[in-house]
Amino acid sequence: MRAYPAVRRSETVDELHGVRIADPYRWLEDADSDETAAFVAAQNAFAEPVLAALPARDAFRERVTALLGAPTRGCPFERGGRIFAWRNDGQNQDVLVVADAVDDLEDGRVLLDANALSADGTVSVTAASVSPDGQLLAYGTADGGSDWRTLKVRDVVTGIDLADEIPWTKWNSPVWMPDGRSFTYWRYDAPGGNGLTDEMGPGRLMVHVVGQAAEADETIWERPEEPRMFARHWPRDDRWFVLSTDTGSSSGNDLAVAAHGAYDLRQLVEGHEHEWNAIGIRGNTLFVVTDADAARYRLVAFDLDPGMHGSHRMREVVPEHETDVLLGASLTEGGLVLEYSHDASHRLQLAATDGTLGDAVPIGDGVSLTGLSARATSATVFVTTSSFVDRGTRHVVETDGPRLVSHRTLPTPGPAAPAATTSRIRATSTDGAEVPAFVVRPAGDDGSAPRPTLIWAYGGFNIPMNPGFRAVLAAWVDAGGVLVVPNLRGGGEFGSDWHKQGTKARKQQVFDDLYAIAEQLIATGVTTPAQLALHGRSNGGLLAGAALTQRPELWAAVLPGVGVLDMLRFHRFTIGWAWTSDYGDPDDAAEFPALAAYSPLHAIRDGVAYPPTLVTTGDHDDRVVPAHSFKFAAELQRAQATSGSEAPILLSIDTRAGHGMGKPKDAAALEFADQLAFAAHHAGLAVDAVA
């Protein structure tokens, strides 16, 4: 029997709504304590020899390093006649370049090199916004993967930073004001305790004037009496200031409007019941994508100048589609470009501003939009797409209102994508609904025999799982494994109803959808339980933790990454309160039972033989604090020991990483290699297939 690291258990017990809840590892929530540091060191010391001995670790690290190191090119965007784009030629962090024309980007001047911000590549650029005249760059840097960022300003012509420095900001990218010399941003007070774990207090929307000290910045919106509200200024317009406010990560939002300088806000919509995603302004007309009276979303327009009638009248521009979800829209010089999701893949269509549909844009089948840049003053639209095996394709689209004038792609240097085929399957879930999934097979696999299979899933916060490129997934397919990406309830693939069917008291439906897909894969001979691995991050880490504790017999290996695993205390740390919009509030007696029923930490049982499990997190994760993973792994190791099972339960902690954003490529390659090698070893993927 394995001898796991000894972990102290306390007698801590809470009583919630009359139910006694033991929390023996509460002390692991103190990220600064010596005892927690010793726990981290002991767990890494225990996990590393096991991971180092995995036969495919080195081969996977080499393959993932090659995939991560292949050149990438971001979506171009124009400001003040200059063309900007992010690019990477194998560095740890991306580089922002600027050129006079899109075809000159390969030889563009480096404006901002994030690799020069730290010796180890752990300082990243997590926000960037160029002023409308192309003269100034406002950008935010984060250390060690934290969500906290410091804003700075750089002169585009000289490439030199100005004296401006704004600490303790999060979430919003800077949005420039009409003068092009000031911008809005979201700011918090400096934390009084641990900034990586303490619950977020009230923030405020500020405006910063370039050259002015941050202490002199003006507050233009705040609700200190409602600390769990958040606001952003968008879209940018020279006449109108539009404010969006919300109360959670996937709740509805309200919109208010004012003339710049006055800020006597007038509400357009209120109640936080629906999504109102403002996309652009033409004259006095604000265009908004909404799910109000349209589960698959529609485009509406508000008259921002009420005039004699005294109200901001709304009219429908593009009605809800019969089958496809309207993801977003952008104004062009003479019309609109509409972004649709069709069976979880993306398509683009042009339209007139009165809603008359025009030409489709040929971006390919089975792809995801990873970037789109359009301006109301330009007929040119820049687009980037990817798929499960395509690292990225850049499109330059010329429009004439709703008509397509021309379309071309820009070359991207680097090796060809791994060869694979993608298909769709559908399984019937517990409530009779059909749940689809992408199945990606390596070249040469005819499906005649079961194969080691990796499910990558999420199922939450209205976020869709589309066919986008991820090095960790492409490496699995390239090694000969089958990849399955389900479109579970809770996600955003099929509209707001699909999302809501997997939230709060209905969260169990997301897990049931996953089991339906897994059981169909087994029943149809795609794989077997001895060959089936499950991986998910963040909310997907919750999914993996729930699936591990509810259906341990289904999996050959489970890999919960940076997961939300303590569903009774998630809301007490950093921004966790915002997730109650999806999960419910454990402090609410009506919502507590559903959370307690599936909370992975509290579902672990003695004597159950759990499958091989690799839990991963970062000690700088201030979104899903690492205590979730610490407590879950400690309790899972203790319970596994009572079962007599030799299946390993490992906890691997990156001591210079956060939730994942901005992680250096070398660190990402090691994490991915560990995960893939662990899954391959326990699912039976042959090592020689990774050469």
Q: Which two tokens stand for residue 683?
A: 């699912």
- How close are the terminal C-alpha atoms of the chain, in Å? 33
User: Phi first, then psi: what are they for 370, rounded to 5°?
Assistant: -110, -5
Query: What is the four-CA torsion angle of 580, 581, 582, 586, rounded to 10 degrees?
Result: 30
Q: Is the pLDDT of residue 641 over 70?
A: yes
Q: Per residue in 538-576, pLDDT tens? A: 999 999 999 999 999 999 999 999 999 999 999 999 888
| 503 has pLDDT over 60 | yes
pLDDT confidence of 274, banded at 50, 70, 90? very high
pLDDT class of 689 with cuts at 50, 70, 90: very low
- Strands 403-410, 420-428: parallel, antiparallel or unpaired by DSSP? unpaired
User: What are the residues whose beta carbons fall under 8 Å from the beta carbon of 539, sequence distance 6 or more?
Assistant: 458, 459, 460, 461, 463, 490, 564, 582
Question: According to the model, what pLDDT value does residue 663 have?
Answer: 65
* Distant-in-sequence, close-in-space partners of 648: CB < 8 Å, separation ≥ 6: 2, 50, 612, 613
Options 538, 629, 645, 652, the catalytic residue: 538
- At residue 418, the pLDDT reads 72
Run of H or E including 474: helix 471-478
Q: What pLDDT does residue 661 have?
A: 54
Per-residue pLDDT at 691: 41
Among residues 321, 659, 681, 682, the one annotated as catalytic is 659
Q: How far from the centroid of its chain's Cα atoms is residue 418's Cα?
A: 24
Average pLDDT, whole number, for the chain?
92
Of residues 667, 663, 617, the one with CA closest to residue 31: 617
* Identified catalytic residue from 359, 390, 621, 674: 621
Whole-angstrom distance, CA of residue 691 vs CA of residue 683: 18
Cα of 28 vs its chain's centroid, Å: 26
Query: What is the Cα–Cα distance from 324 to 537, expressed in whole angstroms?
Result: 27
Distance CA 691, CA 688 (A): 6
Q: 261 is written with which tokens?
A: 């300088």
Sign of CA dihedral 600, 606, 612, 616: positive
- pLDDT mean over 7-22: 96
Name the DSSP letter for residue 321: P
59, 73, 120, 418 from 62: Cα distances, Å: 5, 22, 20, 15
Q: What is the mean pLDDT of residues 339-360?
A: 97
Note the pTM of the prediction, 2 decimals. 0.90
| Angstrom distance (rounded) from CA 451 to CA 537 | 23
Q: How confident is the model at residue 414 (pLDDT cuts 50, 70, 90)?
A: confident
Indicate the domain borders of the chain. 32-65+421-440+449-690
In SS3 terms, 644-689 reads as CCCCCEEEEEECCCCCCCCCCHHHHHHHHHHHHHHHHHHHCCCHHH
* Chain-centroid distance, C-alpha 627: 20
626 forms bridges with which residues in the sheet? none
Handedness of CA 7, 11, 16, 20 (dihedral sign): positive
For residue 75, name the pLDDT band (cuts at 50, 70, 90): very high
Residue recorded with tokens 């398509």 = 347
Domain 32-65+421-440+449-690 matching CATH 3.40.50.720: the answer reads no
Q: Residue 659 catalytic?
A: yes
pLDDT tens digits along 299-346? 999 999 865 445 678 999 999 999 999 999 999 999 999 999 999 999
Q: Cα(312)–Cα(294) distance, rounded to whole angstroms?
A: 20
Cα–Cα distance for residue pair 654/667, rounded to 1 Å = 8
Q: Looking at the predicted structure, is the pLDDT value of residue 165 above 80? A: yes
Burial 120-133 (b: 16+ CB within 10 A, else e): ebbbbbbbbbbbbe
CA atoms within 13 A on the CB side of 497: 9
Q: Is the Cα dihedral 609, 614, 620, 625 positive or negative?
A: negative
Q: How confident is the model at residue 180 (pLDDT cuts 50, 70, 90)?
A: very high
Q: How far apart are CA 548 and CA 543, in angstroms?
A: 8
pLDDT value at residue 408: 97
What integer is the mean pLDDT of 427-437?
Answer: 98
d(CA 72, CA 403): 30
Q: Is 1 exposed, middle or buried (0-12, 13-18, 19+ CB in 10 A)?
A: exposed
561: Cα separation from own chain's centroid: 13
Per-residue confidence band for 577, with pLDDT thresholds at 50, 70 and 90? confident
Q: Is the pLDDT of residue 78 over 50?
A: yes
Q: How many CB atoms lie within 10 A of CB 510?
A: 28
Q: How far apart are CA 355 and CA 461, in angstroms?
A: 29
Q: Cis peptide leading into 174, omega within 30 of 0?
A: no
Q: Which of 93-107, 238-252, 612-626 has the highest mean pLDDT?
A: 93-107
Render pLDDT for 29-67 as a digit per residue (tens, 0 to 9).
998 899 999 999 999 999 999 999 999 999 999 999 998
What tens digit of pLDDT does each residue of 197-242 get?
667 678 999 999 999 999 999 999 998 888 778 889 999 999 999 9
pLDDT the model gives residue 311: 62
Q: What percent of the chain has pLDDT over 70?
A: 95
Q: Per-residue pLDDT averaged across 157-162, rounded? A: 97
**3-class secondary structure, 325:** strand
The DSSP symbol for 115 reads G
